[in-house]
Amino acid sequence: MSAIHLQNLVKRFGPFTALRTMDLHIADGEFMALLGPSGCGKSTTMNMIAGMEEPSEGQILFGDRDMAGVPMGRRGVGFVFQNYAIFTHMTVRGNLSYGLRMRGAPKSEIDRRVGAVAELLQLTPLLHRKANRLSVNILQRVAIGRSAIMEPAIFLLDEPLSNVDAAFRAVMRTELKHLQREFKQTMVYVTHDQLEAMTMADRIAVMDHGVLQQVGAPLDVYNNPANLFVARFIGAPGMNLLPGRPAESDGGLVIDLGPLGISPPLPEGIAAVLRGSNGEVFYGFRPEQVTRSVDGRGLAMPVSFVERIGARTIVHLGEGERSVKAVFENDAGAVVGETLVLVPDAASVRVFDAGSGRAVMAEG
């Protein structure tokens, strides 16, 4: 069994808490991405799963087996380091065969498996090369191959693509996903690049400052962020968030956005929960999920900046706290200074409690 269960995991370095009560369950064969900004405790979590660090509190289970006290060499995990940790004094072949040699595998089997892995990762012509003069792209493949050859049930990758060039990164994303489909390992993949997490992972665990913020399928995390941090962090650009208060209107419950007027009526599910409260909230919607108003009703805001990115256009509107971005799939024809009236797609509107930062969820 190679499901991974992290239960109430805490890691402290002296007075500094790097990880706070982390609860995460990764299913057998699942591709889980740990996503978060630098220093949020991703590597720390991985190192504890691999056994390189002892948890300060809590438990790690593989299947139903408690890993406390199991040394890292016996956990049967493959690990790809952030900086690869290639054995530079060996050849590529020496690196790939290392694990098998240390376990005393017969020479014929070593040759066969090295051959197979080298073929898979296109390392065959480089097998005899010394590892100290190889490019990062190749080192990265050697690092993956060196672990993959052991056919671990659990594969941990710590930002394996953060140092390689963009073109190769795109190739490796598909390769890795392919590899995982083929071998069905449980894969934990650390990254601070949400595109990587979104495209490869079955589920994403978003972390910030040592706290697990949300776990869910990529689209779920994108569509239904659990709190303000996830709303801002996921998506490029992140979700638009405007401060305001719930208010009653003819069309139903709306958010009074102060100088921006009132929002379009809220979806009934959210309205039902919010009705009657008067606390400050954030009105959120995705920059990709807006249209320009046809009848003049909506959020009227001045354009402050227009960013063209290939086919897409990002239009920045408003300023300071009351600024939003809108992404259009075409030129949009927006001019700086002009006032646009935007209508967020009703179904994609999210409301967050300003006090707790949590999303207001429709009941039921």
Ligand X SMILES: Nc1ncnc2c1ncn2[C@@H]1O[C@H](COP(=O)(O)OP(=O)(O)OP(=O)(O)O)[C@@H](O)[C@H]1O
Query: Which one of the spans 34-42, 87-95, 162-170, 348-356 is the region binding other proteins (CB under 8 A)?
Result: 87-95
Sign of the Cα torsion 43, 48, 53, 54 reads: positive
Q: Can residue 2 be called a binding residue for ligand X (CB under 6 A)?
A: no
Q: Is residue 13 close enough to count as binding ligand X by CB under 6 A?
A: yes
Two structure tokens written together for 217: 């399928």
Bridge partners, residue 203, by sequence? 32
246 binding other proteins? (CB under 8 A): no
Nearer to other proteins, 52 or 300 (CB): 52
Of 27, 72, 211, 300, which one interacts with other proteins (CB under 8 A)? 72
Q: Which is nearer to ligand X, 55 or 244 (CB)?
A: 55
Please give the Cα distance from 108 to 62 (Å, whole number).
Answer: 32
Asked whether position 147 contacts other proteins by CB under 8 A, the answer is yes
Choose, by CB under 8 A, the member of 1, 85, 219, 236 that binds other proteins: 85
Q: Read off φ and ψ for residue 357, nearest 5 degrees.
A: 80, -5
Verify binding: residue 194, other proteins, rule CB under 8 A.
Answer: no
Query: How far is Cα 190 from Cα 42, in angstroms, rounded to an integer?
Result: 6
Closest contact distance (angstroms) between CB of 24 and other proteins is 21
Stretch that binds ligand X, among 34-42, 233-241, 271-279, 301-309 (CB under 6 A): 34-42
Q: Is 168 in the site for other proteins (CB under 8 A)?
A: no
Q: Do 194 and 229 form a contact (C-beta atoms < 8 A)?
A: no
Q: Which does 135 bind (CB under 5 to 8 A by kind): other proteins, ligand X, Mg ion, none?
A: none
Residue 321's identity, in one-letter code, is E
Partner interacting with residue 13 (select from ligand X, Mg ion, other proteins, none; CB below 5-8 Å by kind):
ligand X
Proportion of the chain in helix, strand, coil states, percent, rounded to 5: 30, 35, 35
Complex with Mg ion: residue 43 or 180, whichever CB lies closer: 43
- Would you count residue 160 as binding other proteins (CB under 8 A)? no
Q: Is residue 147 a contact point for Mg ion (CB under 5 A)?
A: no
Is 16 among the residues that bind ligand X (CB under 6 A)?
yes
The SS3 call for residue 230 is: helix
- Among 41, 42, 43, CA closest to 16: 41
Distance, CA of 174 to CA of 133 (rounded, Å): 26
- The strand ranges marked E within the chain are 4-13, 16-26, 31-35, 57-62, 65-66, 77-80, 154-158, 186-191, 203-208, 211-216, 240-249, 252-256, 281-285, 290-292, 299-309, 312-319, 322-328, 339-344, 350-353
Considering only residues 24, 26, 35, 43, which one is a binding residue for Mg ion as defined by CB under 5 A?
43
Distance separating alpha carbons of residues 273 and 285, to the nearest angstrom: 18
When asked if residue 89 is in the footprint of other proteins (CB under 8 A), the reply is yes
Which lies closer to Mg ion via its Cβ, residue 156 or residue 290? Answer: 156
Q: Which is nearer to ligand X, 131 or 156 (CB)?
A: 156
Name which of 244, 213, 249 is nearest 231 in CA terms: 213
Alpha carbon distances (Å) from 65 to 31, 58, 60, 197: 20, 14, 8, 28
Q: Give the one residue of 86, 164, 215, 234 binding other proteins; rule: CB under 8 A.
A: 86
Backbone torsions φ then ψ of 328, nearest 5 degrees: -115, 145
Contact characters 40-79, ligand X, x per CB under 6 A? xxxxx-----------------------------------
Residues lying near other proteins in the complex (CB under 8 A) are found at: 50, 52, 71-73, 77-79, 81, 83, 85-89, 98-99, 102-103, 130, 132, 146-147, 150
Binding positions for Mg ion, rule: CB under 5 A: 43
Q: List contacts with ligand X (CB under 6 A).
A: 13, 16, 18, 36, 38-44, 192
